[in-house]
Amino acid sequence: MAAAQGQRSDGAGEMDDGQEVADTAPLPFRAAVEALRGARLRPQIEVDPTRPPRRLAPYAYALEAAGVDDGEDLADGRLVLLHDPAGHDAWKGTFRLVTLVRAELEPEMAADPLLPEVCWSWLTGALQGRGLACGEPSGTVTRAGSHYFGGLAERPPASQIEIRASWTPREGAGGVPDAGAHLAAWCDLLGQVAGLPPAGPADGSVVTLPQRRGPRAD
């Protein structure tokens, strides 16, 4: 996975790999990023910082993750923390979390007509399970199927589920959201999509998000 990039999302103040978020970033944003970095996560979820998207907000920090079992990636995703100190009318707050989660599906699950509703309930349930309040949630659940022909005809049909969502975390003291708890809830969602057994908030097997990893070789 990609190495850490702490920076303004417009490219100003871009930091080298492994560096901290710029000291010129607002204190609430820096505190939220530190909470992400200090979150305790289950070992089956491998998480790394990655380059955030540009122009979505004045400040952004992004993570990418995979749900892994016996060395096999079962699901992957991306979580982006956005911050606009001036506030955002659509967010109704100064922070926003944006996510993408996707996984391959078993044929029986892919055929379930209630699958989109179930997947959305996994997201809301993960937040509620951590006791987190959020505002202005929105998103999509997309189910896609692939059939192979010609030289690929021997491959069996494949199905994939993709969850795209965003929500506004409640801000606490000093205008700082509990970003670490939101990351843990998001990892609960990723684990559920991957089909991993549930891990409670007090699970002793959790580990701390690494502060730095080297860049993935292309």
Whether 132 shows a pLDDT value over 60: the answer reads yes
d(CA 171, CA 165) in angstroms, rounded, equals 19
Task: State the Cα–Cα distance between residues 107 and 218, nearest whole angstrom.
Answer: 32
- What tokens appear for 167 in the block? 């929500």
pLDDT in tens, 5-40: 233 333 333 333 333 566 688 899 999 999 999 888
Tokens representing 199 are 């891990």
Tens digit of pLDDT for each residue in 44-91?
A: 889 999 999 888 899 999 999 998 888 778 889 999 999 999 988 899
> 153 pLDDT exceeds 90?
no
What letter represents residue 44's amino acid?
A: Q
Long-range contacts of 78-81 (CB under 8 A, 24+ apart): 78/50, 79/183, 79/186, 80/52, 80/53, 80/56, 81/29, 81/32, 81/33, 81/36, 81/179
Residues 97-130: tens digit of each pLDDT: 999 999 887 777 767 778 889 889 999 999 999 9
Q: What is the pLDDT of residue 181?
A: 94
Q: Which residue from 88, 101, 183, 180 is spatially nearest to 135, judged by alpha carbons?
A: 88
Alpha-carbon distance 26 to 57, whole Å?
A: 13
Per-residue pLDDT at 199:
67
- Dist CA 13 CA 19 (whole Å): 11
pTM summary value: 0.78
Residue 60: the pLDDT is 94
Matching residue, tokens 């999302």: 9
pLDDT at residue number 53: 86
Give the chain's mean pLDDT: 79
Angle between helices 179-194 and 27-38 (to 10 degrees): 40
Token pair of 65 as six digits = 């993750």
Of residues 188 and 4, more confidence is placed in 188
Q: What is the pLDDT of residue 152?
A: 86
Cβ neighbourhood burial of 89 (10 Å; 0-12, 13-18, 19+): exposed
